[in-house]
């Protein structure tokens, strides 16, 4: 009898067979195969709700190829753009168990970290963008940043620096092009930034103002540290790697995406060169501490995640400052610095953790079945299943014998009836989505077992 592998879905944006992060997804599909999981990529238009199937994509010799795949046990959300109405409706329904909960806007995250004593000491002063707040911060800080509250890749970021009574402003457009202007006084800065925030905002989002940190450890170049913090295959947070990002000359940020002349450097040698070995090791250890405290706050106040890209500034005195947190980070930085172990772990941990979650869900569900069996042994049927899953209903209520019509109704897929009702209510979305309804139960089989079990508890709500 065949064993049924855990099924991991990677949810993202696609256009035809073009995917964002295509190279990473190819690696994840292959890593899943090696670890014993069925991994595929899909978007909201690929969901076949009535049949509980997914049109999943895998990379083959012919390129990205679609096939009908089983319903995922766990979904990794890597959607980073094109958040259309169909996506938002799908993401807000409990259709799948996700490895990563939805995150908040970066501006809200900074407010949350500033208000928590576990992380407040690493936060520079930040305020929501407004003319009043801008004038106040220009009066207090010689260096200031304006950032989109929902940005990514350094798009829309502005650096404002006071120099000899005037202001030098550098901005990175959404097209990644640089803009440089010199302004004579604060009034010009206020007017210029008002125009910038209107033209460069992302998805109608707001901007946040942040105290600038002098991170020019290299002449006229911004350098900061990226810390990748992930959950491993045992569900434990670990620091996968650290690296230094160096922006192009006079760039407002150090992001590598879309920047010619930017660079990635190994963390410890860079810090040792500027601070000496002893202080460099102390800075490295504090960066790990920052990452751990941030994950504690996030999981206490937002929900569960499995990876974070944490951007930290180290000023000329060696003090660490938190710049921002990215819930869907890139991992290519470690390939660029030649850290093969960190890069491989950065790719492997998400799939290993998703398999861990699938195993946990399976074990929890099996424990509940055992409890029900102990209490009502005459009312449970456990079947040995082949590769194709079969629904098993579990009745536990002490009721009179159901009629033949009731038995027939119970044998119908209850979830499908609920989902059909939801689709009718959504009306116009039905054509776009075909994705509404409650999520699946766990269907994971541990590798060392020789039988698989697909189940659904009639007395428990859908997960």
Identify the pLDDT of residue 252: 59
In a domain, 205, yes or no: yes
Which domain range does residue 16 map to? 7-98
Q: What is the mean pLDDT of residues 197-219?
A: 78
285 and 201 housed in the same domain: no
- CATH number of domain containing 81: 3.40.50
Note the pLDDT tens digit of each residue in 225-264.
999 999 999 999 999 999 999 877 666 555 555 455 578 9
28 and 131 housed in the same domain: no
Last residue of one domain, picked from the residues 179, 212, 245: 212
In a domain, 404, yes or no: no
159 and 77 housed in the same domain: no
Is pLDDT of 277 > 60?
yes
Question: In the chain, pLDDT over 90 holds for what percent of residues?
Answer: 45
In a domain, 427, yes or no: no
305 and 323 housed in the same domain: yes
| Mean pLDDT estimate for the chain | 78
- CATH number of domain containing 259: 3.30.470.20
* Higher per-residue pLDDT: 426 or 296: 296
* Higher per-residue pLDDT: 211 or 438: 211
In a domain, 461, yes or no: no
Lowest-confidence pick of 1-5, 115-119, 161-165, 255-259: 255-259
Identify the pLDDT of residue 177: 74
In a domain, 260, yes or no: yes
Lowest-confidence pick of 103-107, 228-232, 256-260, 437-441: 437-441
Residue 375 pLDDT class (50, 70, 90 cuts):
low
Note the pLDDT tens digit of each residue in 358-373.
998 877 766 666 666 6
62 and 111 housed in the same domain: no
Identify the pLDDT of residue 327: 92
Residue 47 pLDDT class (50, 70, 90 cuts):
very high
Is pLDDT of 331 > 90?
yes
* Higher per-residue pLDDT: 84 or 238: 238
Q: Which range has highest mean pLDDT (178-192, 227-241, 409-423, 427-441)?
A: 227-241
Q: Which range has highest mean pLDDT (309-318, 356-365, 412-421, 448-457)?
A: 309-318
Is pLDDT of 410 > 60?
no
Q: Which range has highest mean pLDDT (241-245, 301-305, 401-405)?
A: 241-245
Is pLDDT of 414 > 50?
no
Residue 412 pLDDT class (50, 70, 90 cuts):
very low
174 and 299 housed in the same domain: no
Identify the pLDDT of residue 207: 87
Last residue of one domain, picked from the residues 193, 212, 231: 212
Lowest-confidence pick of 3-7, 73-77, 150-154: 150-154
Q: What is the 3-state secondary structure (H, E, C) of the chain?
A: CCCCCCEEEEECCEECCEECCHHHHHHHHHHHHHHCCEEEEECHHHEECCCCEEEEEEEECCEEEEEEEECCCEEEECCCCCCCHHHHHHHHCCCCCECCCCCCCHHHHHHHHHHCCCCHHHCCCEEECCHHHHHHHHHHCCEEEEEECCCCCCCCCEEEEEECCEEEEEEECCCCCEEEEEECCHHHHHHHHHHHHHHHCCCCCCEEEEECCCCCCECCECEEEEEEEEECCCCCEEEEEEEEEECCCCCCCCCCCCCCCCEEEEHHHHHHHHHCHHHHHHHHHHHHHHHHHHHHHHHHHCCCCCEEEEEEEECCCCCEEEEEEECCCCCHHHHHCCCHHHHHHHHHHHHHHHHHHHHHHHHHHHHHHHHHHHHCHHHCCCCCECCCCCCCCCCCCCCCCCCHHHHHHHHCCHHHHHHHHHHHHHCCHHHHCCCCCCCCCCCCCCCCCCCECCCCCCCCCCC
Q: What is the mean pLDDT of residues 318-334?
A: 93
* Higher per-residue pLDDT: 86 or 66: 66
* Higher per-residue pLDDT: 454 or 114: 114
Is pLDDT of 376 > 70?
no
Residue 165 pLDDT class (50, 70, 90 cuts):
confident
């Amino acid at each position: 009898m065949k064993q049924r592998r855990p099924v991991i879905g990677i949810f993202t944006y696609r256009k035809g067979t073009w995917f964002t992060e295509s190279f990473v997804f190819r690696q994840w599909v292959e890593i899943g195969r090696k670890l014993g999981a069925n991994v595929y990529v899909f978007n909201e238009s690929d969901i076949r709700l009535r049949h509980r199937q997914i049109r999943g994509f895998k990379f083959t010799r012919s390129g990205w190829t679609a096939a009908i795949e089983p319903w995922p046990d766990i979904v990794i959300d890597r959607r980073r753009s094109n958040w259309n109405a169909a996506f938002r409706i799908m993401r807000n329904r409990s259709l799948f168990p996700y490895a990563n909960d939805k995150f908040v806007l970066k501006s809200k995250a900074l407010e949350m970290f500033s208000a928590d004593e576990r992380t407040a000491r690493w936060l520079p002063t930040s305020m929501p963008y407004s003319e009043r707040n801008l004038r106040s911060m220009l009066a207090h800080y010689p260096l200031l940043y304006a950032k989109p509250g929902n940005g990514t890749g350094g798009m829309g970021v502005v650096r404002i620096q006071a120099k000899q009574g005037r202001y030098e402003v550098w901005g990175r457009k959404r097209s990644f092009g640089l803009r440089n202007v010199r302004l004579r006084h604060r009034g010009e800065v206020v007017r210029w930034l008002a125009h910038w925030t209107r033209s460069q905002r992302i998805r109608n989002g707001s901007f946040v103002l942040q105290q600038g940190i002098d991170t020019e450890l290299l002449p006229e170049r911004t350098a900061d540290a990226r810390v990748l913090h992930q959950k491993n295959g045992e569900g434990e947070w670990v620091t996968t790697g650290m690296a230094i990002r160096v922006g192009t000359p006079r760039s407002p940020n150090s992001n590598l995406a879309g920047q010619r002349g930017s660079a990635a450097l190994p963390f410890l040698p860079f810090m040792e060169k500027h601070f000496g070995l002893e202080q460099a090791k102390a800075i490295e250890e504090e960066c790990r501490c920052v990452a751990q405290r941030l994950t504690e706050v996030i999981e206490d106040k937002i929900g569960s995640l499995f990876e974070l890209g944490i951007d930290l500034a180290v000023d000329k005195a060696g003090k660490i400052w938190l710049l921002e947190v990215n819930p869907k980070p890139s991992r290519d930085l470690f390939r660029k610095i030649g850290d093969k172990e960190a890069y491989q772990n950065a790719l492997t941990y998400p799939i290993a953790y998703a398999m861990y979650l699938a195993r946990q869900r399976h074990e929890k569900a099996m424990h509940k079945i055992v409890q029900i069996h102990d209490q009502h042994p005459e009312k449970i049927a456990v079947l040995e299943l082949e590769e194709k899953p079969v629904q098993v209903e579990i009745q536990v209520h002490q009721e009179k014998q159901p009629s033949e019509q009731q038995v027939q109704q119970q044998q119908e897929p209850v979830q499908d009836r609920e989902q059909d009702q939801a689709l009718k209510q959504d009306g116009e979305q039905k054509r776009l989505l075909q994705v509404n309804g409650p999520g699946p139960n766990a269907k994971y089989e541990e590798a060392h077992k020789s039988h698989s079990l697909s189940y659904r508890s009639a007395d428990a709500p859908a997960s």
